[in-house]
Structure 1
Amino acid sequence: MNNNITRLPINSLGYDFIKKEYLPEGENEYYLRNLQNRNGTEYRHLSAFEIEALVRNRNTSDNWNNLLVSDQFNPELVKNCRFYGLVRIGKLEPFFLSFSDLKVAVGLYDSTIISSDIGDNSVINNVHYLSHYVIGAEVILTNINEMQTTDKCKFGNGIIKEGEDESSRIWLELCNENGGRKILPFNGMLPGDAWLWSKYRDDEKLLDKFQEFTESEFKTARGFYGKVGDRTVIKNTNIIKDVWIGSDAYIKGANKLKNLTINSGTEGRTQIGEGCELVNGSVGFGSRIFYGVKAVRFVTAAHTQLKYGARLINSYLGSNATISCCEVLNSLIFPGHEQHHNNSFLCAATIMGQSNIPAGATIGSNHNSRGADGEIIAGRGFWPALCVSLKHNSKFASFTMLAKGDYNYELDIPLPFSLISIHPITNSLVIMPGYWFMYNMYALTRNAWKYVDRDQRNEKVQLIEYDFLAPDTINEMFSALKSLEIFTGKAYFKSIQNNKSSTESIYRKKGKELLNDASVNIDELSILAEGYENSKRNVEIIKVQKAYNIFKRIIAFYGYLHLFNFVQKEGINSVTKWQKSFPKKPQRGVWINVGGQLIPEKNVLQLKEKICNNKVNSWDELHAQYALEGEKYVKEKTMHAIASLEELLNINLSQLDKKTFIQFIDEAIVTKKWIFEEIKKSREKDYSNPFRKMMYNSQTEMDNVVGKFSDNSFIIQQEIELKNFIAQTKKIKANWIV
């Protein structure tokens, strides 16, 4: 079969961009272009002198009457160019533009330009084929092989144009390789949008509404031009096709950019570098993509990084996330994700943020069943160690760490802050709940601070939760307390009753009794979990009593913090004022991580109803709902914390007396001091460990390499925070009257 190459008259080149059957009545092929070009320039025809100057400078045109210019056009700054169709040029002045080490003269040189608008004082140099683009002011385009827009351009959005078949629509097949959770990509997609759309597959009306939102957001008319915003620089690039590019972007050495929206501007300057190939997607503001990246069918949110040969396919990457040197397929990744190593693989996963995927990790060796339909869901703070292999389907609570190993069975680990490992002798699965609090408080608290500090978003439509003490983790800790009680009680009865079974309530009652009795040592019990792994081997839970007490202490501290904040905000300084201001029936309730934003389940259900009942009718309106949820978050989190404290202590806080309140303050100070000491101790180990110190001949050498422990800025900051907390709580105590 031959290539379909047609021969057409040269005088038709650059015309009839929109076929007549797709033109609205009374409009010409430039009606959309005129809407897109908002620079305010008044164009005029060339003078005879200007045409003569252009011809003298070896320029050609199929029709000089279709080359329109501004009043400040200088024909001496246009040399060796070929013009076809309607071309409009802004002012050209005799100076050069300098960007970084690049210095180029203003004007149009050695280029073929077809039916395009060129903004004021831009540079078009050695662009072999520029077709149907609107170029902004002071733009630099140099050494580009092909830059064109087709009449069916969609700029990476999941729509189809007039006359197109449904089969040409682009979908993102998130979370699952079989396409069962596919969504339509669109510019401006937030992680909450992607999660809601991919999650609720049993609600067909909701899914239809999301498709309606997307299709109504973007016009289906044919004939839009590509755009390059003001002050954008593009150099040494091969192919740019159907791409919308914002202002102040920097693109250098890219291989292929096709069917994209590249957001850039005051919200964040985007850079795309050498060897990159991006097709069918949207790039968020302030993103950096360079050194051989391959991304196909993708959306990246604001301030993301893709680098060093990363491959991102059929995936959504949340804001402030970095992926380099590795392969990510069919995944939905919430904000604050890190993945840096060439030999890591992430597939068919929903990763709920603040995560880190290491070298050698295979998170999603799919096809474990008879089809490519497995999934992995990991809560916030997911952190597998080197060379971890997981099997679909698996699910993990927040802040789960997995030690190096091949996990050959499906896992469902609901215990938060856990370390999971495989015993080298017994081959049993071993879970240490509360690991982070016991052994790495420094990393836990520093990461929470780090993600807040590094959140570069200008428009924080979704309020992303980075604190490790939040409604989702607290609820998981409550569930963990119940499970630990049941498993402990069951282990106790098994040890004395020769495997006689009993009821769950009896197991829980006995386990609670044992775990709350400091004089009882339960380490001799073999405490096993059930339903955590799809295997016949034992699943051991270790350090149960310690984890149990830490969870209770942490939940209480969470409650105290929000209780004190509530007291301060409401100006409460007596029991009488407390009883008047105490919230009616505070509820702990279920909370959902919606793209990194924590929202009560009841609010999510109400939001779905609003969408289905036409009370929310666009993505912008849905995003406004996220913002409203963010405004309510502090209050709702406080109510959750107070309800959690009531449930933990089994008291009615509406009857709070001064003695109990003072006791809360004293306990909170003790816990805050304990947290600080654990932060300090967990970091200090890195300085006292002999296997760390053996690399250095002297303390001075070690200090110069890793820094002095006493100079650790985060620990200094935490010490200041501790002092402020003590002063603040003592002030609350002193102001409490009766």
Structure 2
Amino acid sequence: MNQIRKSPLQTLGYHFIPAEYLPAGKDEYHIRHQQSNNQIHYRHLTAWEIEMLVRNRNTSDDWNNLLVSDAFNPELVQNCKFYGLVRIGKLESVYLEFHNLRRPVGLYNSTVISCDFGDNIVVDNVNYISHYITGNDVMLVNINEIATTDHAKFGNGILKDGESENIRIWLEACNENGGRSIIPFDGMLPGDAYLWTRFRDDDQFQQKLKDFTQARFDTRRGYYGTIGDRTVIKNCRIVKDVNIGSDAYLKGANKIKNVTINSSAKAKSQVGEGCELVNGIVDYGCRLFYGVKAVRFFMASHSQLKYGARLINSYLGNNSTISCCEVLNSLIFPGHEQHHNNSFLCAALVQGQSNMAAGATIGSNHNSRSPDGELIAGRGFWPGLCVSLKHNSQFASFSILAKGDYPAELNIPIPFALTSNDVTNNRLLVMPAYWFLYNMYALARNAWKYGDRDKRTQKIQLLENNYLAPDTINEIVHSLELMQELTGKAWLRHQQQERKRASREELMAIGKQLLDSQDPILQELEIQAEGFENNRRPVVLLKVPAAYQIFRELITYYAVQQLIVQADTYEWKTLEQVRAAVPTRLSLDTWTNVGGQLIRQVAIEKLIQKIHTGRVKSWEQVHAFYTEQADAYAQEKFQHAAAALQAVHGIHLRKAGADSIKSLLDQSLQTREWMVKGIYEARAKDYKNPFRKMVYESTAAMNKVTGKLEQNAFIKQEKEGLETFRKTIASLSRKWAGK
């Protein structure tokens, strides 16, 4: 049975804070007075103003509780009901206009309960507005209900005085069983979400993060909802316990409850028709349109949710777009694209710069007795059309999967690889270095695109968009060793010596000799892998000799890239300065992608230790840690590149001679040249393909539609970059090698 409470009419608009939660010596407005700092001097109404208000069919339970500014115009308040303490700012005889919506300043046909209004606001046909504070030039038009409760938390997973733990809001990210749940809070960064979902066996660390979150907010009851300057809300049904920043635009939303919508003049947020948002945070510059549903969610800044998409129990990283699909229980780092009507992402950690195609079903628990599976995908994850994956699966960076229903769990440790399901021959195929071999254009353009589209106004975390970075380089180093080992096994099998017991080191030595020399026998070997798929069918690696050489070249190219950055920063003019900057002992450290920012694992461990001991005691200090790591990143990246060069090529930059440096510079230029050539040729295929050309009447017609290849802005940019790189290499060769 519904519990309908009856109270005396004269109490409507009063006793907002229950008596048991009201501090001694405070009234129910003490928090409201702190929030309402608009510098408006309010006064009581004059007798004439009251008379005018009554003539305009307005009512109040007590006209003494309707306070106004000196520039108040009673003629601009008509047919309204006022309850409790209501304060109104300046009202001038003007109208406000936004997107062709024109309304006179003032309050019309509305019921107002205990609110503060800034200057020149429009409140028109608002059936019920309760306990809100608005800024100036706000437009509220055709709203059924907009109200705040005394225990409002505005989407933050905190508790107010007197509340029990079982009502706390959690995001059940990464796993459907809730075992990696995190508490959402306004200001949460992707790195925060990532750290919280990890280290689940560290109870002290988990409790500290929970304490950090609770300590960010006041537990007192009685906070009013706020609406910032120049915000427009029209044709909405229910807005309850929602904080809204300035310059936001809400139109036609069905329901928004327990949400913070951050917005500013430089990063406007919008919520459109048919949206339903419950228990979440919408950060600056976000856009939500056309029937989307979001429940227990966090949308980081400048992300978009459109066209009926569903986002539930998930964190969506910055600069991401989800349309027409369903995302459940996932943690998604910045730069994610998922546009198509029938894709599904569940219980996943997707580490950014990712793109999901139509029909992709990423994550299924149907191979488990419980919904407790997970999927982890490194940066640049691209599952193709109608790809179906099982939990648990894991993918190295820049993995691309060809169309197919993959029958078992996958563990693909090789980066930049194309994985395909060879149903005809009942085997799994993995092609390392696919992007460099066949689609350099897409790889390079995406690296540029994600940097260019980073619209964050507060860049606390340094996002790594380059496809060659400490995470991918470490994966390349591991893959080189893996290819050596698997090639050694394949050679023994080919020589019918597979029963010979060879150690891993012996296998790697055999494979290294064959791959380094590009022995012709490699063309006869079928190189198989183990542990890539939870299945007994063969897993075959394709084009290993070519991938091996490319990966080795990339190590050199990466090292020279970082060398150039440091030389430019510190203006190194001599080889001695280069050598002096390289540590005597080099270590190929483990790096972790922390919400799109790459951080050494040893630094993360030190952070956790500081959290344990209380030296780090707030999220603000954790965010300061991100900034410190960003400041040190270029130097640490250079040292990492030097360590990778030593590990793969045996060259220690501190001991390198002029000839060795010259050779490295020349090799890097050759690598950059074939990269730019690959970028051009990958795109040129689209212009030469007869099946693409057949829909056009002529080449001229095709160029009108697709644009001329020679005028492709990105290709021109890369060619110009190559010329700059060539000049840089020539200059450094003269400085450091005298050649």
TM-score w.r.t. length of structure 2: 0.99
Quote the residue 2:115 is aligned against: 116
Quote the residue 1:257 is aligned against: 256
Quote the residue 1:600 is aligned against: 600
1:347, 1:366 within 8 Å by CA — same for their partners in 2?
Answer: no
Quote the residue 1:613 is aligned against: 613
Quote the residue 1:336 is aligned against: 335
Quote the residue 2:35 is aligned against: 36
Quote the residue 1:150 is aligned against: 149
| AA matched with 2:410 | L
Higher mean Cα deviation, 107-116 or 689-698? 689-698
* Residue 232 to residue 568, structure 1, CA distance change in 2 (3 Å): closer
| AA matched with 1:476 | E
Question: Alpha-carbon deviation of 1:503?
Answer: 1.6
| AA matched with 2:648 | L
Quote the residue 2:645 is aligned against: 645
Residue pairs, 1:289-688, within 5 angstroms: 289-500=288-499, 501-688=501-688
1:441, 1:682 within 8 Å by CA — same for their partners in 2?
Answer: yes
| AA matched with 1:133 | Y
Residue pairs, 1:96-245, within 5 angstroms: 96-245=95-244
Within 2, Cα distance between the matches of 1:233 and 1:653?
60
Within 2, Cα distance between the matches of 1:502 and 1:733?
44
Quote the residue 1:247 is aligned against: 246
Question: Alpha-carbon deviation of 1:267?
Answer: 4.3
Question: Alpha-carbon deviation of 1:337?
Answer: 0.1
Question: Alpha-carbon deviation of 1:534?
Answer: 0.5
In structure 2, runs of 5+ residues without a counterpart are none
2:124, 2:142 within 8 Å by CA — same for their partners in 1?
Answer: yes
Question: Alpha-carbon deviation of 1:524?
Answer: 1.5
Write out per-residue CA displacement over residues 284-311 of structure 1, whole angstroms, 9 at most, x where no aligned residue.
1000001000000000000000000000
Within 2, Cα distance between the matches of 1:468 and 1:579?
27
1:477, 1:551 within 8 Å by CA — same for their partners in 2?
Answer: yes
Q: 2:716 aligns to what SS in structure 1?
A: helix
Within 1, Cα distance between the matches of 2:66 and 2:570?
69
* Residue 521 to residue 560, structure 1, CA distance change in 2 (3 Å): farther
Higher mean Cα deviation, 411-420 or 641-650? 641-650
Q: 2:133 aligns to what SS in structure 1?
A: strand
Within 2, Cα distance between the matches of 1:570 and 1:461?
24
In structure 1, runs of 5+ residues without a counterpart are none
Q: 2:663 aligns to what SS in structure 1?
A: helix
1:429, 1:538 within 8 Å by CA — same for their partners in 2?
Answer: yes
Within 1, Cα distance between the matches of 2:89 and 2:651?
74
1:159, 1:214 within 8 Å by CA — same for their partners in 2?
Answer: yes
Within 2, Cα distance between the matches of 1:492 and 1:579?
40
Write out per-residue CA displacement over residues 461-518 of structure 1, whole angstroms, 9 at most, x where no aligned residue.
0000000000000000001001111111001101213531422111111011111112
| AA matched with 1:563 | L
1:274, 1:291 within 8 Å by CA — same for their partners in 2?
Answer: yes
Within 2, Cα distance between the matches of 1:595 and 1:584?
32
* Residue 426 to residue 130, structure 1, CA distance change in 2 (3 Å): same
Q: Does 1:696 align with 2:702?
A: no
TM-score w.r.t. length of structure 1: 0.99
Within 1, Cα distance between the matches of 2:321 and 2:530?
36
Write out per-residue CA displacement over residues 25-70 of structure 1, whole angstroms, 9 at most, x where no aligned residue.
1100000101110101111111100000000000000010110111
1:127, 1:146 within 8 Å by CA — same for their partners in 2?
Answer: yes
Quote the residue 1:59 is aligned against: 58
| AA matched with 1:570 | Y
* Residue 311 to residue 577, structure 1, CA distance change in 2 (3 Å): closer
* Residue 488 to residue 698, structure 1, CA distance change in 2 (3 Å): same
1:574, 1:658 within 8 Å by CA — same for their partners in 2?
Answer: no
Q: 1:407 aligns to what SS in structure 2?
A: coil
Question: Alpha-carbon deviation of 1:425?
Answer: 1.8
Q: 2:34 aligns to what SS in structure 1?
A: helix
Question: Alpha-carbon deviation of 1:341?
Answer: 0.9
Within 1, Cα distance between the matches of 2:160 and 2:58?
36
1:560, 1:645 within 8 Å by CA — same for their partners in 2?
Answer: no
Quote the residue 1:283 is aligned against: 282
Write out per-residue CA displacement over residues 67-109 of structure 1, whole angstroms, 9 at most, x where no aligned residue.
0111111000000000000000001010000111111100000
| AA matched with 1:57 | N
Write out per-residue CA displacement over residues 242-281 of structure 1, whole angstroms, 9 at most, x where no aligned residue.
0000000000000000000000003400000000000000
Aligned residues: 737
Question: Alpha-carbon deviation of 1:576?
Answer: 3.6
Quote the residue 1:27 is aligned against: 26
Question: Alpha-carbon deviation of 1:571?
Answer: 3.4
CA RMSD of aligned residues (A): 1.1
Higher mean Cα deviation, 599-608 or 689-698? 689-698
Higher mean Cα deviation, 497-506 or 619-628? 497-506
Question: Alpha-carbon deviation of 1:577?
Answer: 3.6
Q: 1:497 aligns to what SS in structure 2?
A: coil
Q: 2:462 aligns to what SS in structure 1?
A: coil
Within 2, Cα distance between the matches of 1:368 and 1:225?
48
Q: 2:481 aligns to what SS in structure 1?
A: helix
| AA matched with 1:471 | P
Within 2, Cα distance between the matches of 1:564 and 1:673?
17
Question: Alpha-carbon deviation of 1:581?
Answer: 3.6
Q: 2:314 aligns to what SS in structure 1?
A: strand
2:645, 2:652 within 8 Å by CA — same for their partners in 1?
Answer: no
Question: Alpha-carbon deviation of 1:644?
Answer: 1.1
Within 2, Cα distance between the matches of 1:588 and 1:67?
69
Question: Alpha-carbon deviation of 1:336?
Answer: 0.1
Question: Alpha-carbon deviation of 1:135?
Answer: 1.0
Within 1, Cα distance between the matches of 2:572 and 2:299?
46
Within 2, Cα distance between the matches of 1:557 and 1:683?
23
Q: Does 1:731 align with 2:727?
A: no
2:78, 2:107 within 8 Å by CA — same for their partners in 1?
Answer: yes
Q: 2:315 aligns to what SS in structure 1?
A: strand
Q: 1:205 aligns to what SS in structure 2?
A: helix
Within 1, Cα distance between the matches of 2:128 and 2:178?
37
Q: 1:493 aligns to what SS in structure 2?
A: helix
Within 1, Cα distance between the matches of 2:268 and 2:400?
35
Quote the residue 1:270 is aligned against: 269
Within 1, Cα distance between the matches of 2:226 and 2:579?
61
Within 2, Cα distance between the matches of 1:75 and 1:575?
80
Question: Alpha-carbon deviation of 1:579?
Answer: 3.7
Q: 2:97 aligns to what SS in structure 1?
A: strand
1:367, 1:373 within 8 Å by CA — same for their partners in 2?
Answer: no
The percentage of aligned residue pairs carrying the same residue is 55
Write out per-residue CA displacement over residues 307-344 of structure 1, whole angstroms, 9 at most, x where no aligned residue.
00000000000000000100000000000000011100
Write out per-residue CA displacement over residues 421-470 of structure 1, whole angstroms, 9 at most, x where no aligned residue.
01132110000010000000000000000000000001100000000000
Write out per-residue CA displacement over residues 534-589 of structure 1, whole angstroms, 9 at most, x where no aligned residue.
11100010101111111001111101111233334333333444443433323221
Write out per-residue CA displacement over residues 373-422 of structure 1, whole angstroms, 9 at most, x where no aligned residue.
00000000000100000000000000000000011101110000000001
Question: Alpha-carbon deviation of 1:642?
Answer: 1.2
Within 1, Cα distance between the matches of 2:182 and 2:384?
31
